[in-house]
């Protein structure tokens, strides 16, 4: 620990603590209660602050930044509405285990509880959607709280943390000693010491049950019809390489959850595709027939398992997860191993006696379609044509962010993701309006990469105000709108389940998205045929260096559906749509 102590005010201490953590980019929006912090930020040009149009945009941007860089995202907002505007972003990050530190400021300590102007109990509001939340009322507690918040956000099962600093604590002074994250993690007398010593799940990795590893190796050896599920935990644990090796050595088909996208190569012959409600026939039929289901870092959400009673009914179900509270939550398992997926998979690989060959089983699984064959419709632009053109013309390592709905499912089905962090989507919370903010974060964190934002007309309208952020910071994001003049996914359910009673899902209204884009100072085009689309995409790629984003409004048919589909709570092999 360095002995160079200085007396600093809380705002400067906060910024010094961000620098300790290696933070160079933050997203946020100023306001009255957080004025002191923004005043200090004015002197620190080494921290790039991206000002969004709305705090929700900043929250999604910090999340997208975290998911695409593997670093902790940071988001600043003021008290009251500034902080409540973050909440959808906090919940989105929480459901998808994304490490983001949200920093809000509140009114002065002496005003707390008096319903002061812009006062709200934001730690209370965010209690169920954060890993931990903190109130800082004294400057002396600030530095260690920030250090603890970062340690908790990135450790164990990652997730969002919120720090609410009362305004007086940003103004008053105390001694500040710089401490690196490593020094802090080894410090004594701090809460982190207790958390570490007790293997608290918020920071620690539990001791791995080695007997369970032996048992799993045995199950793999005996299995003739294995199926692997690649979940978001493989992405977060950076265990993609180990997972790929395991799949190859088990010679096992691999189904991928929405959150697992990118952790297993999209063009692998072992890939069965997405699993669950809009899972491929190969994935869902394999799940129904397998004798061993090994799920890594997935939480068996209802969109994956559908009716849990019939899920993988012939299989021994084995669950590897960092979070003990996910075990036997949605699906009862035969064996589980709690811990870091990377470590567990390495231990498991060392225990596998020999590599397997499962040709008969693979022949069965891959006799079912792993990709949906969407029809071409003469004279109409189809989602398939839009995605094929994007996949062909944009670089292979393009980061894809999505909003929520039909376009999200089409994009995940169609693109062949290669690396963890390539697909950024709101899988758990299903947040419409996530995509543009997330794309801003991803582009800010990965300036050299192309960022594609796939959205629908409903989702895009929710937070399209962030086009001004995209324009100002010269982020050349390509937005593809699947514009069917409807809330397509809800309409699909109304079509299939509600007797075509299209209640409030027809979006027969403006704006003209191309003109809107031009008004914000980015390129806007409307396309109705694939040849024009291809030309526009090529122009977008060629013009990247001018730093101007693109909004490409693709007009598609409103009756186009996501296929296949299994109805909610139905059995996984019971397709409602092929």
Among the listed ranges 181-189, 199-207, 251-259, 538-546, the one in contact with other proteins (CB under 8 A) is 199-207
Contact between 191 and other proteins per CB under 8 A: yes
Please report which helix (H) or strand (E) contains residue 423, including its range.
Answer: strand 423-424
Angle at 237 between CA 233 and CA 240, to 5 degrees: 85
123 scored as a contact of other proteins (CB under 8 A): yes
- Which of 141/485 has CB closer to other proteins? 141
Q: Which stretch binds other proteins (CB under 8 A): 105-113, 327-335, 357-365, 387-395?
A: 327-335
Buried b (16+ CB within 10 A) or exposed e, 455-464: bbbbbbbbbb
CA distances to 94, 118, 142, 313 from 126, rounded to whole Å, are 10, 17, 19, 38
Give Cα separations from 282 to 250, 254, 299, 368 (angstroms): 18, 10, 21, 5
Reply yes or no on whether 576 is catalytic.
Answer: no
Six-digit token pair at 395? 């670089």
What are φ and ψ of residue 200, in 5° steps? -60, 135
Q: Establish if 200 lies at the interface with other proteins (CB under 8 A).
A: yes
Is there a catalytic annotation at residue 55?
Answer: yes
Q: Which stretch binds other proteins (CB under 8 A): 200-208, 231-239, 349-357, 487-495?
A: 200-208
The one catalytic residue in 27, 150, 166, 167 is: 167
Binding test (CB under 8 A) with other proteins, winner from 128, 269, 379, 510 = 128
Choose the binding region for other proteins from 58-66, 82-90, 189-197, 376-384 (rule: CB under 8 A): 189-197
- 131: annotated active-site residue: no
Q: Is 95 a catalytic residue?
A: no
Report if residue 201 touches other proteins, rule: CB under 8 A.
Answer: yes
Starting at the earlier edge strand, list the strands of the sheet with 271-274.
Answer: 271-274, 254-256, 226-230, 292-296, 316-321, 335-338
String marking each residue 148-187 x if it binds other proteins according to CB under 8 A: ----x-----------------------------------
Kindly state whether residue 135 participates in binding other proteins, applying the rule CB under 8 A. Answer: yes
Binding test (CB under 8 A) with other proteins, winner from 48, 194, 474, 538: 194
Active-site residue identified among 95, 250, 489, 558: 489
Asked if 118 is an active-site residue, the reply is yes
Sheet holding 132-136, edge to edge: 48-51, 25-28, 73-77, 100-106, 161-166, 132-136
Q: Residues 419, 447: contact at Cβ < 8 Å?
A: no
* By CB under 8 A, residue 5 contacts other proteins: no
Could you tell me the smallest distance in angstroms from the CB atom of residue 157 to other proteins? 8
Residues with Cβ < 8 Å from 42, sequence gap 6 or more?
none
Instruction: Give the Cα-Cα-Cα angle 233, 239, 243 (nearest 5 degrees).
Output: 100
Residue of 71, 118, 238, 575 with catalytic role: 118
Instruction: Name the β-bridge partners of 113.
Output: none
Which residues are known to be catalytic?
55, 117-118, 167, 489
Residues near other proteins (CB under 8 A) are: 123-124, 127-128, 131-132, 135, 152, 191, 194-195, 198, 200-202, 323-325, 327-329
């Amino acid at each position: 620990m360095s002995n160079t102590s200085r007396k600093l005010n809380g705002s400067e201490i906060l910024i010094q603590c961000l620098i300790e953590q290696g933070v160079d980019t933050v997203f946020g929006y100023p306001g009255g209660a957080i004025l002191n912090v923004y005043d200090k930020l004015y002197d620190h040009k080494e921290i790039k602050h991206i000002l969004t149009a709305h705090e929700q945009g900043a929250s999604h941007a910090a999340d997208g930044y975290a998911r695409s860089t593997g670093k902790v995202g940071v988001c600043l907002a003021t008290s009251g509405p500034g902080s409540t505007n973050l909440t959808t972003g906090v919940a989105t990050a929480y459901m998808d285990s994304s490490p983001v530190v949200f920093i809000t400021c509140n009114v002065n300590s002496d005003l707390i509880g008096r319903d002061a102007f812009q006062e709200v109990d934001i730690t209370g509001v965010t209690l169920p959607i954060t890993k931990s939340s903190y109130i800082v009322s004294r400057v002396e507690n600030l530095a260690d709280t920030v250090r603890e918040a970062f340690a908790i956000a990135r450790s164990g099962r990652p997730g969002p943390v919120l720090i609410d600093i009362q305004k007086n604590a940003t103004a008053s002074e105390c001694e500040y000693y710089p401490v690196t994250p490593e020094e802090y993690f080894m410090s004594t007398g701090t809460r982190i010491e207790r958390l570490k010593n007790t293997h608290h799940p918020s920071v620690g990795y539990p001791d791995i049950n080695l007997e369970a590893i032996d048992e799993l190796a045995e199950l793999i050896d005996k299995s003739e019809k294995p199926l692997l599920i690649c979940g978001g935990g493989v992405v977060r644990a950076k265990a993609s390489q180990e997972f790929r090796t395991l799949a190859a050595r088990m010679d096992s088909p691999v189904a991928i959850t929405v959150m697992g996208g990118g952790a297993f190569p999209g063009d692998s012959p072992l890939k069965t595709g997405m699993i669950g409600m809009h899972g491929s026939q190969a994935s869902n039929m394999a799940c129904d027939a397998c004798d061993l289901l090994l799920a890594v870092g997935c939480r068996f959400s209802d969109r994956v398992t559908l009716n849990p009673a019939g899920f993988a009914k012939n299989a021994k179900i084995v669950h590897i997860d960092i979070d003990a509270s996910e075990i036997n939550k949605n699906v009862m398992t035969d064996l589980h191993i709690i811990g870091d997926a990377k470590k567990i998979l390495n231990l498991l690989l060392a225990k596998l006696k020999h590599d397997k060959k499962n040709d008969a089983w693979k022949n069965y699984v891959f006799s079912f379609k792993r990709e949906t064959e969407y029809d071409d419709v003469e004279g109409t632009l189809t989602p398939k044509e839009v995605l094929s053109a994007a996949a062909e013309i944009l670089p292979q390592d393009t980061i894809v962010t999505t909003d929520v709905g039909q376009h999200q499912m089409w994009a995940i089905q169609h693109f062949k993701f290669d690396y963890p962090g390539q697909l950024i989507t709101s899988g758990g919370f299903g947040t419409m309006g996530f995509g543009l903010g997330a794309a801003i974060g991803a582009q800010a964190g990965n300036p050299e990469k192309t960022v594609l934002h796939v959205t629908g007309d409903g989702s895009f309208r929710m937070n399209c105000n962030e086009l001004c952020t995209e324009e100002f910071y010269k982020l050349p994001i390509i937005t593809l709108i699947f514009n069917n003049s409807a809330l397509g996914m809800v309409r699909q359910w109304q079509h299939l389940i509600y007797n075509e009673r299209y209640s409030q899902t027809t979006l027969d209204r403006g704006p003209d998205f191309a003109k809107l884009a031009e008004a914000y100072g980015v390129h806007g085009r409307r396309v109705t045929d694939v040849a024009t689309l291809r030309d526009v995409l090529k122009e977008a790629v060629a013009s990247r260096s001018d730093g101007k984003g693109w909004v490409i409004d693709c007009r598609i048919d409103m009756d186009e559906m996501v296929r296949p589909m299994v109805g909610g709570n139905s059995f996984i092999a019971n397709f409602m749509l092929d």
